[in-house]
Amino acid sequence: MGSLKGEKFRRSCTETGRGVLSDPQTRAIYDIYGKRGLEMEGWEVVERRRTPAEIREEFERLQREREDRRLQQRTNPKGTISVGIDATDLFDRYEEEYEDVSGSGFPQIEINKMHISQSIEAPLTATDTAILSGSLSTQNGNGGGSINFALRRVTSAKGWGELEFGAGDLQGPLFGLKLFRNLTPRCFVTTNCALQFSSRGIRPGLTTVLARNLDKNTVGYLQWRWGIQSAMNTSIVRDPNPSHFTVALQLGIPHSFALISYQHKFQDDDQTRVKGSLKAGFFGTVVEYGAERKISRHSVLGAAVSVGVPQGVSLKVKLNRASQTYFFPIHLTDQLLPSAVFYATVGPLVVYFALHRLVIKPYLRAQKEKELEKQRESTATDILQKKQEAEAAVRLMQESVRRIIEAEESRMGLIIVNAWYGKFVNDKSKKSEKVKVIDVTVPLQCLVKDSKLILTEASKAGLPGFYDPCVGEEKNLKVLYQFRGVLHQVMAPDGEALRIPKQSHRIDTDG
């Protein structure tokens, strides 16, 4: 969507020289950077009325972001760190009479397993990509690692193939072949063949997946796995926004199971998701539920509780930071204890809200204040200039406003008593924040026509006699006006349309 907007923006600016010359911002961009500047993506979302210095700074920022994206796309680094924690001593402690040595009374929490994996990609040509990956694992003092090298080639618009070579200290050499092919616009197939060499001989494996779009939001999968853990699996995934629903059935050796899961995404700024699943098979039954939430621009924190037989109760905490994943499965008990389920559910919520209030929100607020302070310093001269321009415009409006007020008073029309624009602080918890408002009574009265004032959906900072007193911060327009001899009051967020007079703005003076 962003690239489409960028293409429209560039087309509108480069089709004719008249389009560039008529728009002040695109003219400034063209004067500084030429056609190359107009082709830079991101200008379409930049606020207008920028000075050449601000445009130059914005161009450099967009150029840095584009270089970062290109590097990220070229290498595509991915990493996973998993730390398994054994906390069963919290709930499954032995009675004192069974202990040979009296302990300290504190439960023992141990790290019993770890796993680290990393992969990067290196484009060789337009169709060939090399992939290097490695992993290290340890469990109860024993561990091993492996390294893999793969070469992927895009054969056509409908498919690609990949050759893989791997080796490790616990397993012998590995040779693999992966193929992907679009059979029809709604159907594709993937095949993975592998040969694993070990002291027991050669272990072949074959996995084939056939997928088809059943409708706009539904995809069906059919998987056949032979050799290593042979199985037949079928699943249906339905993804109508904001829900995600999955049903799966597997028949295989050694595991056969049925799975149903549901996930719901809330339409909020933090992109909160809640999910739950039920999995039942020959190995037992597992119920899992959890949630995840965006805590910063590049970080998502999630937690899930797993309750099953015979697995017991586990808490799984996951943090996604850009393309890196940090996973902490915490095994609490081998039994189905209500106390373990309760603490695994309530504990993460208490810790999250405490961290969010005491650490995350203050940190994000400090970062925002730092950015705003930097922005204020860089725009201080421009703000002063715009303030002087606004004051000059107000002085020129005085005579026109006097005539408008006389006309409105003669017919008991719309009189702007007071009007303020900027940042208002109403929350008592934010008393330390500075109120930054300007008086815009005269400019608003000058816009009154036939006892009506209509403002469109745009920032009010661009209106005659206005300027932005707090760059980068949320602003409102507060108006106290008189209509038909009755006082009215309204506060409208900056950027929203405003139409007065309205009956809903009337101040009730009956009390």
Give tens-digit pLDDT for 170-204: 778 899 999 999 999 999 999 999 998 887 788 89
- State mean pLDDT over 278-299: 91
- State mean pLDDT over 387-411: 89
Measure CA of the first residue to CA of the last residue in the chain; give whole Å.
Answer: 53
Alpha carbons 67 and 78: distance in angstroms, whole number: 19
Is residue 314's pLDDT more than 80? yes
Q: Binning pLDDT at 50, 70 and 90, where does residue 72 land?
A: low
DSSP characters for 98-155? G-SS---SSPP-EEEEEEEEEEEEEE-SSSEEEEEEEEEEEETTEEEEEEEEEEEEEE
Q: Binning pLDDT at 50, 70 and 90, where does residue 511 land?
A: very low
Cα 380-476-478 angle, rounded to 5 deg:
120
Residues in the chain: 511
Report the DSSP pairing between strands 187-198 and 201-215: antiparallel
Is residue 58's pLDDT more than 50? yes
- State mean pLDDT over 80-107: 72
pLDDT at 66: 75
- Least-confidence region, from 151-155, 169-173, 218-222, 344-348: 169-173
Q: Binning pLDDT at 50, 70 and 90, where does residue 47 land?
A: very low
- Least-confidence region, from 103-107, 115-119, 314-318, 407-411: 103-107
- Tens digits of residue pLDDT in 406-456: 999 988 899 999 999 988 876 554 444 556 889 999 999 999 988 999 988
Is residue 308's pLDDT more than 90? yes
Residue 201 token pair: 């001989």
Cα 140-146-150 angle, rounded to 5 deg:
150
pLDDT at 123: 86
Residues 6+ apart with CB under 8 A from 423: 433, 435, 436, 437, 469, 470, 473, 474, 475, 476
> Token match 């926004």: residue?
241
- Tens digits of residue pLDDT in 329-370: 999 999 889 999 999 999 999 998 998 888 888 888 888 888
pLDDT at 82: 95
Give the chain's count of helices (H) and strands (E). Answer: 8, 23
Check residues 30 and 366 and name the one with the higher pLDDT.
366
- State mean pLDDT over 29-38: 55
pLDDT at 8: 47
Question: Percent of the chain scored above 90 by pLDDT?
Answer: 40
Is residue 52's pLDDT more than 50? yes
Check residues 232 and 242 and name the one with the higher pLDDT.
232
> Token match 């303030």: residue?
387
Q: What is the chain's mean pLDDT, rounded?
A: 83
pLDDT at 38: 53
Whole-model pTM above 0.85?
A: no
Check residues 141 and 252 and name the one with the higher pLDDT.
252
Is residue 101's pLDDT more than 60? no
Is residue 12's pLDDT more than 50? no
- State mean pLDDT over 11-19: 46
- State mean pLDDT over 212-221: 93
- Tens digits of residue pLDDT in 371-385: 877 777 777 777 888
- Least-confidence region, from 4-18, 184-198, 306-320, 456-470: 4-18
Q: Binning pLDDT at 50, 70 and 90, where does residue 236 land?
A: very high
Burial class (CB in 10 A: 0-12, 13-18, 19+), 51: middle
C-beta of residue 325 within 8 angstroms of C-beta of residue 81: yes
Amino acid type, 123:
P
Check residues 379 and 4 and name the one with the higher pLDDT.
379
pLDDT at 21: 47
C-beta of residue 277 within 8 angstroms of C-beta of residue 305: no
